[in-house]
Structure 1
Amino acid sequence: MSCFSSLPEGCISYITSFTSPRDACRVAAISSTFKSAAESDIVWEKFLPSDYPEIISRSVSPVVYSTKKELYFLLCNSPILLDEGKLSFVLNKCSGKKCYMLRAIELSIVWGGSSEYWKWTSLPESRFSVVAELLGVTWLDIGGKMKTQMLSPKTTYAVYLVFKLAKNNRGLEVPVKASVRFVAEIQDRAENSDDTVYLKLAKDRQPNGRFPQKRGDGWMEIELGQFFNDHGDDSEVEMQLKETQEHLGKSGLIVKGIELWPKE
């Protein structure tokens, strides 16, 4: 410790910038000198995504900050809406990796344009201006696409449908097929390789598959799948949730969007 204490503050900042946000906070607790070094813009600039100026320039509301550390935690704790509210952006607090959510209206929802089957409405607990509420269909088919260049490279992402169930929902206990694939691989996919997920667990059985989890914001999420974003090349990932076999009436699904969250 004594040899590090004799280093100039700039050197401590430089060394700390090669660690992690969590380690930088630990370093700041050592002494006043280390605190000043660990909280410098040199450190927190390194933890922010390299394209953060372009990202915050697309925010629908001004992003106000005085230091790069303040900006980092602002982006971790308060998702910002981008591109006229089409999607939201937030950072993973531990890693600084990028997370996006596509709002429901940006998704491909079969019969989503028909007021007979889907209703577009607003909810005060949603960060987006509108959500999609299922009034009644027999086929459920929801999908979305995301360009990998927008995501953090060398990162495994999990993809989630974020939703709620209306009080009088029905027909949502059936198994649903979920898939996450690069668009270039779509034509080679086999339907039987898709994962089985459930939007609602039936009381009288415990089938095999993935089940929804409650989030801290009060919404539910079901994982559709995972993928590894290698170099973040100019490609696309397609996410889909589909049920076209049972032909049962379904209603009461409220879709907020699809979220891509980095796995630590």
Structure 2
Amino acid sequence: MEGKEGRTHFSSLPEGVIANILSLTTPLDVCRSSAVSRAFHAAAQSDIVWDTFLPNDLDDFISRSKPGGLNFDPITSSKKEIFFSLCNSPLLIDNAKKSLSLDKQSGKKCIMLGARDLSIVWDDTSVYWTWESHPESRFGEVVVIFKAWWLEIRGKLSSGMLSPRTTYAAYIVFKMRERRYFGFNIDFVDAMVGIVGSEHSVKTVCLDPYLDDPLQRRRHVPQAGSNLPTNNISGLEMPKGRHDDWFETELGEFDNNGGDDEVEIILKDLRCTDSKNSLVVQGIEIRPKINPE
């Protein structure tokens, strides 16, 4: 079929050709294009399209998952079904200490380091920290501050696990075990994210999800002479609610240019102004930095 100027209408192209064209776009573009016409809708279901959005090393990740841990059949499921399964149901890998998921908009890989995959100072001392199961965590255990002054959490992973030529950001995923917590409105935390061996900029972040609403919990007044940081929170990285009912705070970002460098994430508060309690850490998520439309 030709248009008014004698040019072939795009929708009249063979389905395979349309599928190949769509495979050069993004998952978000494909979903939008499926509403254009019946031809586009049919092409947008093709394995040719969705296979290009799946990681090249997916088989390796599957081999690192626990038996029975897949929410799809690698053989019989369509590529689209596999893609959205990985978007909606993270795949637990490496003895269920990490998870792999895909970003719906770009198809880029997202990795979360579970609490058991992090290095946490004094996490083996029950006076300061305790390990618990949590019904809303994707991992078997979370770590909870019982009462601590010193907070230091570190995570590392190979950049080869991530999508190349991508800007990533790291987020601590957490919540408070109860509203009657204290300490996090008094001391903010320093975060550093980057490739091992490179210079890291320090970012000050907040782990108090109710800092601007102290009526939601007991207000803990700092000791005389200390500075309450709530007086100066302009530009501070604040916690944001997630779709899974956890909170997250962005710790920093880095460019993954390929290769097999090691990425490190450091979160620490060495000020020791006051004790802290009730912070529940699920893990640290590393996912692509997506610009809002």
TM-score using structure 1 length = 0.91
Report how far residue 248 of structure 1 moved.
1.8
Aligned residue number for residue 87 of structure 1: 98
Which segment drifts farther, 96-105 or 166-175? 166-175
Aligned residue number for residue 206 of structure 2: 198
2-side partners of 1:218 and 1:7: how far apart? 45
Q: What is the identity percentage for the equivalent residue pairs of Structure 1 and Structure 2?
A: 48
Report how far residue 86 of structure 1 moved.
0.9
2-side partners of 1:149 and 1:179: how far apart? 20
Q: Flag the structure with higher helix content.
A: 1
Aligned residue number for residue 123 of structure 2: 112
Report how far residue 12 of structure 1 moved.
1.5
2-side partners of 1:63 and 1:34: how far apart? 28
Structure 2 unpaired stretches of 5+: 3-7, 215-227
1-side partners of 2:163 and 2:40: how far apart? 29
Amino acid at match of 1:17: S
Aligned residue number for residue 171 of structure 1: 183
Q: Secondary structure of 1:184's partner?
A: coil
Aligned residue number for residue 227 of structure 1: 254
Q: Secondary structure of 1:170's partner?
A: coil
Aligned residue number for residue 207 of structure 1: 232
Aligned residue number for residue 181 of structure 1: 194
Give runs of aligned pairs for residues 90-101 of structure 1, distance below 5 A.
90-101=101-112
Aligned residue number for residue 261 of structure 1: 287
What is the root-mean-square deviation in Å for CA atoms of aligned residues?
A: 1.8
1-side partners of 2:284 and 2:151: how far apart? 15
TM-score using structure 2 length = 0.83
1-side partners of 2:45 and 2:243: how far apart? 29
2-side partners of 1:5 and 1:51: how far apart? 33
User: Which among 37, 40, 43 is matched to residue 34 of structure 1?
Assistant: 40
1-side partners of 2:242 and 2:45: how far apart? 31
Q: How many matched pairs?
A: 258
Structure with higher Rg: it is 2
> Do 1:171 and 1:250's aligned partners in 2 also have CA atoms closer than 8 Å?
yes
Which segment drifts farther, 16-25 or 131-140? 16-25
Report how far residue 226 of structure 1 moved.
0.6
> Do 1:139 and 1:247's aligned partners in 2 also have CA atoms closer than 8 Å?
no
Aligned residue number for residue 225 of structure 2: none
Report how far residue 253 of structure 1 moved.
0.9
User: Which among 48, 53, 61 is matched to residue 55 of structure 1?
Assistant: 61
Report how far residue 20 of structure 1 moved.
1.5
